[in-house]
Amino acid sequence: MNRCFPCLLLVASACVAEVDASSLVTEVLPPDDIGLLWDKSFNGVGDDVVAVVPVDVMVYDMELDAPLQGVEVTLAPHEPDVRVVGPDALELIDPVDCYDCVGALDTYRGFYVTTLEGFDDDVLITDVDGIARAYVEVDAFPLTDAGLETIGVEVEADGHVVDFLIVPE
């Protein structure tokens, strides 16, 4: 029995060496561009009218055709009036149940929202299905003479950078 143990260790270490992280071909899939019903009257910064958009980013290995768990993902909106909120850091309150609610009206779903403390918006981690979940909270779109402009959101995972857009409609 003692002779087999070193052999098993040798075989196990050989298997681990074959699945070297540097050999993985990572693909990062952000959401498709998101159309958001928005009116210029919603566009006041700090006016307690926002849109909280759910965002899923998938990370997987193309060669193995398998999701990658435990990958760090960052979302970086290109505009100052947009922020990332973790899925566990958001409380939704039905307007029917709301009397003197503290929070902002989410035009995306028609709920009041409040953000709970304790979310590090710099790093998300993919789950067993290779998905990193978050919300992007839009307080205002950039406004030019031509009207409301799109918002770009940069996604970075495993050294790959991709973008998606939030488009006012």
pLDDT at position 87, please? Answer: 82
Per-residue pLDDT reduced to its tens digit, 67-116: 999 999 999 999 999 989 888 888 888 888 777 777 888 889 888 888 76
Asked if residue 20 has pLDDT above 60, the reply is no
- CA–CA dist 119, 72 (Å, integer): 15
Strands 124-125 and 131-138: unpaired
Is 68 exposed, middle or buried, given 0-12, 13-18 or 19+ CB atoms closer than 10 A?
buried
The ranges assigned to domains in the chain are 25-168
Per-residue pLDDT reduced to its tens digit, 121-155: 568 999 999 999 999 999 999 999 999 999 999 99
Is 142 exposed, middle or buried, given 0-12, 13-18 or 19+ CB atoms closer than 10 A?
middle
pTM of the complete model:
0.79
The domain made up of 25-168 is a member of CATH 1.10.40.50: no
